[in-house]
Structure 1
Amino acid sequence: MHLLHELLGKPSGDVISVSLLKLDPAWDPIRHDPRFQALLKQTDLSSTPPAGSSQ
């Protein structure tokens, strides 16, 4: 999980993204792992601009 967290924090283009982790069947074996779900949630929240932001 630590490696995934680091990869998601770097500009990596289409190599890895939260969307890919959510949809790609390759991640099915760990999809229900609480750590994986927390990683997705944390990364999804950090990449979402705050409400009212002009971005």
Structure 2
Amino acid sequence: MYIWQEFERIPMAEVCQVVTAFHPVWANAEPDLIEAVDAEAAHGSFRSWASCGRQ
């Protein structure tokens, strides 16, 4: 079955909350660092955050 699913980016305020709770590495990270990483690599996608470091 094929279903078109559209996803929107997570707002930055939510990215900071979710990412710090998601993994201990990010638990004490400054919001500026999280914003920079999101802008460079994840672009508001939790899937991108969750797959960081996996090859």
TM-score range relative to shorter protein: under 0.3
Q: Scaled by the length of structure 1, what TM-score is found?
A: 0.24
